[in-house]
Amino acid sequence: MATERGRASSPVPLVVFDEVDSTNAEARRRAEAGDRGPTWLFAHAQTAGRGRRGRSWETGQGNLAATLLLTLDRPPAETAQLSFVAALAVADLACAYVPCSMVSLKWPNDPMLAGRKVGGILLESGPSASGGQWMAVGIGVNLANPPSAPERPATALARHMPPPAPEPLVALQQLADAFEHWFQIWLNEGFAPIAVAWTAKAHGLGEACVARLGTETVEGFAEGLDVDGALLLRLPDGLLRRIAAGDVYFASQSPA
């Protein structure tokens, strides 16, 4: 069952589901039916949550699962930068409950808390029948509990703050407001200020890491972001390699 309501501090409507397969899947269905958004979709429970590269995503009781559906007239290379916008919004949400010094962002879009993954971001898109490109910005945040069997070390906000854990709909309000803040900066000023803010919270810059790129594995040192958001990796021979997509692991993590 779904209910629809407006958010007090924003004209963007919110649709709340007791249960759905995934908020991103619902966003796709709506987009393909002609919905241009913007609309936030929230689910108390997901039966088939998804993460990057087809991985399953366990929402868990008391956690946040939401997707922003919107339509943009921008090329895909630019709209992909919304993953950094979303990451900054999650960081702002976390900083409302724990010391900001505990919050970091790991390339390409992993929000981290005390060095452990605390959320995930999944962008999906497609051509809109009425023009432009629809975007589904899926965001999951472990508010109350981490996954029971995570692929990488994980945590939840509740483990680093006095009880109770944030209420999911309250957290969504904060997340949506933070996303709107960074989204407007991106729209009006481009990616450069987003990159600066993201780099200030970057996890692992200057450290040795391993990048898994499909069938190729590359080792080097994470140097920072390129102008479009690609990771710059300094190889052992001194050359600089652009990593546009892949999974990056630092010394404290092990590839799954």
pLDDT digits (tens, 9 = 90+) for 17-76: 999 999 999 999 999 999 999 999 999 999 987 655 455 556 778 999 999 999 999 999
Residues 143 and 217 in one domain: no
Q: Is residue 83 in some structural domain?
A: yes
**What is residue 43's predicted lDDT score, i.e. its pLDDT?**
95
Q: Which residues pair with residue 249 across a beta bridge?
A: 210
Residues 70 and 166 in one domain: yes
Residues 167 and 110 in one domain: yes
Residue 244's domain spans which residues? 208-250
**What is residue 10's predicted lDDT score, i.e. its pLDDT?**
56
CATH of the domain at 216: 2.30.30.100
CATH of the domain at 35: 3.30.930.10
Residues 107 and 175 in one domain: yes
Residues 111 and 166 in one domain: yes
pLDDT digits (tens, 9 = 90+) for 240-249: 999 998 889 9
Below-50 pLDDT ranges, the chain: 6-9, 53, 254-256
